[in-house]
Structure 1
């Protein structure tokens, strides 16, 4: 079984990926892992990628596609199947993946898109705040202080947010990802392999939905 996992930041993709691997034993392949492995092994395409990264440049799609093909050609993928995470990121890469699958005699069986409303994601991702006095970390939804405005650990009342956690930063990050994901969602919907699940539910319930989809195609 060969899968692709999609979802905006904060949608719970990492948690569901672990659950899928635990049950179905597919090989979880993230873009970062592929690059690190290719560069560590000093494969020809890994050295190409390293050249761009060392110069502070983005790795071109052509090199990324080569790294993906190199990874998907390995024997563990043929034995267990794959779950791609972070690739493809655009339509050109999606079409390249089609060609890679064709060359390797593989099929993409399902694209799982974990959907969560953007406003809920903003709350999830921008909810973290930190006590300036002792560094204790809280979350307004998942881990608030026991008494509002007072640090549980030191009794301090001065809190701050990191720039990355501020709502306006989070919103911009989500907007970029939505713009990037929308053409891919359309592409895989037309291909008949897209399955969308409600990621606003409890973690276990989200997996129940995913599990039903995977059971049907496995």
Structure 2
């Protein structure tokens, strides 16, 4: 990998502020942003072979198997050989992590650590633009026009699974699933964790860390 290129993975629980932090990283450090969720949605909308397969699993209420997610991500990264990038939402399993590290050199894995109680309180005021996945939080990351998506002007909704009981369950599942990943990256000297209650508290430390790493 060229010394001028920088590749990072972003980890964080649902509601931890990943969307805001990732947008600031991408803007500040001129990196390409790759989201596994966005890529899957794009493939489904374009009715690619991968998109059709993924859509069928999703319609059946099943998780899209590792092999398809990994293929989707790695083929996208192959197009970005000459770019610095930030990867969000992948890897989510040890097999995916192995595939990624055997294919692409990674400089760092940034982990956002926000207390669960803070996330639960935050998600109670979360509104989503479902077609794009854009997320807003009232009093934290408000839409320009209340109840409307900034880009399309379409209505925002609140997900039924953003109620406190459902959120806590999701967070517990996330923690159980990502604990092995955190250990995996930590053992390889890649994991760096930033703790705080708000993005504005966490972001300056992330920014300072990356400024030092990307010199």
TM-score by length of 2: 0.74
Deviation per residue, 1:40-81 (Å, 9 max, x gap): 55555444434544555432101111111110011xx23331
Among candidates 53, 66, 87, match of residue 71 of structure 2: 66
Among candidates 200, 209, 214, match of residue 204 of structure 1: 200
Aligned to 1:86: 89
Q: Quote how far apart the aligned CAs of 1:25 are.
A: 1.5
Deviation per residue, 1:175-195 (Å, 9 max, x gap): 111111111111111110111
Q: Quote how far apart the aligned CAs of 1:169 are.
A: 1.4
Aligned to 2:24: 19
Aligned to 1:114: 112
How far apart in 1 are the matches of 2:172 and 2:36?
Answer: 21
How far apart in 1 are the matches of 2:159 and 2:64?
Answer: 29
Question: Any unmatched runs of 5+ in structure 2?
Answer: 1-5, 127-136, 142-157
Q: Note if contact 1:6-1:13 (Cα within 8 Å) is conserved in structure 2.
A: yes
In our comparison, the structure showing a higher alpha carbon Rg is: 1
Q: Is 1:172 the equivalent of 2:169?
A: yes
Aligned to 2:100: 97
How far apart in 1 are the matches of 2:118 and 2:62?
Answer: 34
Instruction: Give the alignment's Cα RMSD to 1 decimal.
Output: 2.7
Q: 1:42 to 1:90 in 2, by over 3 A?
A: same
Aligned pair count reads: 184
Aligned to 2:179: 182
How far apart in 1 are the matches of 2:94 and 2:194?
Answer: 22
Q: 1:112 to 1:42 in 2, by over 3 A?
A: same
Aligned to 1:10: 15
Aligned to 1:37: 42
TM-score by length of 1: 0.73
Aligned to 1:158: none
Structure 2 counterpart SS, 1:68: helix
Mapping of residues 136-155 of structure 1, within 5 Å: none
